[in-house]
Amino acid sequence: MDLELRHLRIVRAVAEAGSVTKAASHLGLAQPALTAQLKRIERLLGGTLFDRDHQGARPTPLGELVLSRAMVLLPAARELQEEARRLANANADIPRYRLGATNGPILGGLMDRLATAWPSTPVSTHTSWSARELTGMVILGKLDFVFTGACGESLPPAEGPVVWLTVGIDPVFVLLNEDHPLARRAEVDLAELADEQWTVTPGDSCFGDCFATACARAGFTPRTIYETDVATCMHLAQVGRAAALCQATFQPAEGLRLVPLAGAPLRWRQLFGWHPESPAAGAAPSIFEHAKAAHADAVRRSRRYAVWLADNPGLGTSR
């Protein structure tokens, strides 16, 4: 087996996390799988890279050497990929745009608007639950633009030269079964839902931590949290098994009611990002304006959100 860049990324991840368990979580791997990979890397390099005990993982002298090389090689490899992608894409004669997005209210309306405004311009899409994955694809030139979100005031998901603009800031509402005792309320306090089980779509933002913090401020610890796809979230809410956390622009299915949380304890920033040196960068201002218009349309379609927003100015589509 030859040493590969992915091996250096694993070593860097363990060093930055300070433990194999935390690094496995950050990399989306099971802890035993990462431990096995690390052992293979150590056999390849001829020695132990980390001293591991109950306090965590600390680099050995060999580990320090490998890390020092990784800090040079990984950024250089990323730079090479970025430049190669940009060069490969710079020769396209017909403008074409590749859009990436996580779950949100923008992509569908934006596609419709772009098809109307630029009928001869091909547009392709790619969706993922991972904002980091999509951001990485923009950096590598695999996508031109990304639409994703960030919880509250947290930083955008970026490692590299990505420009970010805020399309809008939305409160997080809750979806309840229409027969739920609180479903007809104009808004509910989060504390009133302390006995609920919860469901939410997956993501790699800090939303889970923000939700736990909001619950703690409301005086309770959330019970079971089901992290699953949109259809399953709606089903669990429809049958009364869970309260579903969702963006305020969400269109509830039959049997569900969209209910605002008093004081908007959870907020979600809709973000638009692009690489400033990509061939498509010149179209960013225009696409951003179309994205804001698509977001405003989504707000208007959600009657519950539109009514709430009239009494709670300051959120919604960016001005």
Instruction: Kindly state the average pLDDT of the residues 153-159.
Output: 75
Give the bridge partners for 243, in sequence order: 198
What is the predicted pLDDT for the residue at 295? 95
> What CATH topology corresponds to 93-319?
D-Maltodextrin-Binding Protein; domain 2 (3.40.190)
Domain boundaries defined on the chain: 5-89, 93-319
**Are the CB atoms for 10 and 28 separated by under 8 Å?**
no
- 91 pLDDT exceeds 80? no
**Which strand (E) or helix (H) includes residue 27?**
helix 20-27
Structure-block tokens of residue 299:
């707000």
- 78 pLDDT exceeds 90? no
What is the predicted pLDDT for the residue at 89? 60
Nearest Cα residue to 238 out of 192, 305, 175, 190: 175
- 100 pLDDT exceeds 70? yes
- Is it true that 5-89 and 93-319 share their CATH fold? no
Q: What is the mean pLDDT of the chain?
A: 89
In this prediction, residue 26 has a pLDDT band, given cuts at 50, 70 and 90, of confident
- 111 pLDDT exceeds 90? yes
- 256 pLDDT exceeds 70? yes
157-204 pLDDT, tens digit per residue, is 766 789 999 999 999 999 999 999 999 999 999 999 999 999 999 888
Query: SS3 string of 53-114?
Result: ECCEEEECHHHHHHHHHHHHHHHHHHHHHHHHHHHHHCCCCCCCEEEEECCCCCHHHHHHHH
In this prediction, residue 90 has a pLDDT band, given cuts at 50, 70 and 90, of low
Structure-block tokens of residue 146:
């990304």
198-254 pLDDT, tens digit per residue, is 999 988 888 888 999 999 999 999 988 999 999 999 999 999 999 999 999 988 888
Say which residues have a Cβ less than 8 Å from residue 41's Cβ, sequence separation at least 6: 3, 7, 10, 11, 49
265-293 pLDDT, tens digit per residue, is 999 999 999 999 998 999 999 999 999 99
What is the predicted pLDDT for the residue at 1? 65
Residue type at position 315:
L
43-76 pLDDT, tens digit per residue, is 988 999 999 888 889 999 998 999 999 888 888 8
What is the predicted pLDDT for the residue at 140? 87
What is the predicted pLDDT for the residue at 167? 95
CATH number of 5-89: 1.10.10.10
What is the predicted pLDDT for the residue at 56? 87
Q: What percent of the chain has pLDDT over 70?
A: 96
Parallel, antiparallel or unpaired: strands 243-247 and 163-177: antiparallel
Other residues' Cβ atoms within 10 Å of the Cβ of residue 85 = 19
- 312 pLDDT exceeds 90? no
